[in-house]
Amino acid sequence: MKSYKIGIDTGGTYTDAVVFDPEEKKVLKSVKALTSHGRLELGIVSALNDLFQDKKAVYRVSDIGLVSLSTTLATNSLVEKKGTDPGVVLIGFSDDMEQRSHLKDLVSQERILRIPGGHRYDGSEKNPLNLKKLQQFLETSGKSLKNFAVASNYSVRNSEHEILAGELIEQMTRGRVSLSSSLTSDLNSPRRAYSATLNAKIQALMEELVDAVKRAMEELKLKAPLMMVKSDGSIDPVERALDRPIETVASGPAASVIGACSLTGLKDFVISDIGGTTTDTAVVEGGWPLVEKHHAIMQERETSIPSIRVRSYALGGDSEVNPEKEGELEILSRRVVPVSLMAHHYPEVLQNLEAASRERKGLHGAHRYLIKGKEQKKWEALLVPEEAELLEMIGDFPVPYHRFSGRARYRAMISRLYEMGVIQISGLTLSDAAHVLGLQDHWSKAAARAGLIICGRWNGMISEHPQTLEEELRNYAEKIHEQSVKKSTRIILETLSTKTVLEEDPLVEAFLEEDGRLNQLEVQMKSSIPLVAVGGPANTVYPEVGRKLGTETVIPEFASVANAVGAASGSVKITSSCEVTNPESKGFLIHHGNRVHSFQDPDLALTDAEKLVEQTIRKKVRDMQFECGPIEVEIDKILIPGSVGNQGLVSATLRGETLVELG
């Protein structure tokens, strides 16, 4: 019997879901449901239900062999400082090491316990492990805790102390334990401690989401394995993801890249995923995205978790066009509600916009409206009385911004409420210009037109003369569109070159202009690989970006749901690693888990290490009830210069992996 897959992606605006035929590499059905911030499971449940509304579909619930989820929950939780503070056990850490772990950014000091123990660089025990002190902590301060993180000095050389501490915690609390050495082979102990603490902090939230998805699947009688997309583009059984939720922090961009690979069949390309708020870019080589070893969450502290090498830029269809610079165009980094979208949902806004656009001079900010955001209850405790009063005045329907903008006190409060997400503000956006130019037709073109007229008259780009209105309106929309194309091209230049492209670089500026000339110099740049564009606004911008870069632009069918396709078409990647070191007078040591193996011959040490990596991968595959494919082992060696063969081996890191195709 034929089996199909479901892919789900939770984005900032929509939750997308697809039914995917893995044999034909084909999307059979795609749906979109509004993402419910604060309760992501609502959008997921709605999308799942919508997939099975078509009674004529070739697939049935019983035909689904796998459900795979790409979620922003981990990233959102960490950025919004959500999650449950775990207990943190540091073994063999000094004052300086604890400080460099930056744990006070994540948990209160009383939840951090330091105990003697830990190992040396060669894996030998430095100090005995003090489990009695840990037991006392668990009987007092740790009694109410459900999640824990454990990090021991040099545990990647010998994880015995972490394992013993973790076993005691599980026995006494029945809680989840994140061992730093099981998450990563990173030698940096403070960074491992930070990563393990982040992981423990969001486990409860991830568990709630997974439980909600499982309930939705049960309601539909959908009996299929549930998988989750990881930050490196692979997928994992949800049971493993619950133990390691930090590995999902970049699952959205990762799913987008894998989806693009599946939809296009290309192996080498640069991808741009443009949404409402951001543009995410990455380079794909050999059918897999380039990966970085240490992923920084939202450009803050580095973790020890590998992720696809993604660049994120504050440019999307909902990016605001600043109308306040006379005769100039500026695209701001902040996201607002497009006037065309606001009027689409609230027709009375269109009437007001059109009335304002008929004035000889545009009203200052007449295109801006305020409206309450969703999930108001979660903000109540954070608002001062004046803010709560202002929020009551705004109400549940759009109100003109100019009612409040005359008073500096209100302007400051509106700015704070907007930054918190308590209110939303409408504005002129790239999507509005695209509606006027006929490049988009999702929302109210009449409102987009009125918004551009108001702003154009405000900044002097549209005159008061009726006879020139249509020409000036189109010119204004085209200038906005050209600016978005230039910014998008600059983004791809940075991604391809891996260099920062300065705004004032005269060569780049000349290249971005239509004639490509700087005095007597003709500037040309060309991409050596195709450009794949996905996301809602991709069709409006990227054909011109590809033309500027002299490369093929591929915008596949179902580009707007590429992330969900990536979730459905991902592979399970099983990995293992170990290290070989050569400390003085101790021969060659293999460090693998809580065991250290000693050899006098470097060739024998490397051969045995490779066998250990392969055996570990095969066991993991068997435990997950999959069939093991070919295993690739990569060996990075440091040798004494001038030495023969491996006799001058100083150290080696072995990394093995295999891909398991499902369905």
The fraction of the chain above a pLDDT of 90, given in percent, is 38
Cα gap 20→567, rounded to integer Å: 10
* SS3 per-residue string spanning 285-304: ECCEECEECCCEHHHCCECC
Domains of the chain by residue range: 87-202, 320-482, 572-660
The fraction of the chain above a pLDDT of 70, given in percent, is 93
Per-residue buried b or exposed e for 619-638, using 16+ beta carbons within 10 Å of the residue's own CB: ebbeebebebeebebeeeee
**Quick check: 299 pLDDT over 50?**
no
Confidence of residue 607 (pLDDT cuts 50, 70, 90): very high
Cα gap 526→563, rounded to integer Å: 28
Q: What is the pLDDT of residue 623?
A: 84
**Quick check: 43 pLDDT over 90?**
no
Q: What is the pLDDT of residue 651?
A: 84
Span of 297-301, 540-544, 563-567 with lowest mean pLDDT:
297-301
Cα gap 590→652, rounded to integer Å: 9
Q: What is the pLDDT of residue 377?
A: 62
Cα gap 131→575, rounded to integer Å: 31
Q: How many CB atoms lie within 10 A of CB 313?
A: 19
- Using an 8 Å Cβ cutoff, are 656 and 633 in contact? yes
Q: What is the pLDDT of residue 158?
A: 92
Query: Which DSSP symbol is given to 84?
Result: P
pLDDT tens digits for 108-164? 898 999 999 999 988 889 999 999 999 999 998 877 888 999 999 999 889 999 999
Give strand pairing partners of 299.
none
Task: Give the CA distances from residue 328 to residues 459, 466, 483, in Å, rounded to whole numbers and listed in that order.
Answer: 8, 22, 11
Which of 84, 192, 225 has the alpha carbon at shortest distance from 662? 225
- Using an 8 Å Cβ cutoff, are 331 and 432 in contact? no
Q: What is the pLDDT of residue 363?
A: 64
Mean pLDDT for 44-56 is 88
Q: Please name the residues in contact with 243: beta carbons below 8 A apart, sequence gap of 6 or more.
A: 176, 178, 203
Q: What is the pLDDT of residue 655?
A: 85
Task: Give the CA distances from residue 446 to residues 17, 432, 508, in Å, rounded to whole numbers and listed in that order.
Answer: 31, 10, 36
Pairing of strands 572-581, 553-554: unpaired
Q: What is the pLDDT of residue 82?
A: 67
Q: Is 642 left (phi over 0), alpha (psi -120 to 50) or beta?
A: left
Please give the residue that has the higher pLDDT: either 417 or 484: 484
Cα gap 201→564, rounded to integer Å: 26
Q: What is the pLDDT of residue 151?
A: 96
Cα gap 396→401, rounded to integer Å: 14
- Using an 8 Å Cβ cutoff, are 660 and 574 in contact? yes
Q: For the chain, how big is the Rg over CA atoms in Å?
A: 28
Mean pLDDT for 325-350 is 88
Q: Please name the residues in contact with 576: beta carbons below 8 A apart, sequence gap of 6 or more.
A: 612, 613, 616, 617, 620, 655, 656, 657
Mean pLDDT for 215-227 is 88
Mean pLDDT for 410-423 is 84
Mean pLDDT for 528-545 is 92
Q: What is the pLDDT of residue 268?
A: 94
Place of tokens 């394995």: 225
**Quick check: 301 pLDDT over 70?**
no
Cα gap 660→509, rounded to integer Å: 46
Enter the tokens of residue 571.
């592979």
Cα gap 172→201, rounded to integer Å: 19
pLDDT tens digits for 454-512? 998 888 888 888 888 899 999 999 999 999 999 999 999 999 988 888 777 888 888 88
- Using an 8 Å Cβ cutoff, are 640 and 648 in contact? yes
Question: Average pLDDT over the chain, rounded to whole?
Answer: 87
Enter the tokens of residue 166.
């973790």
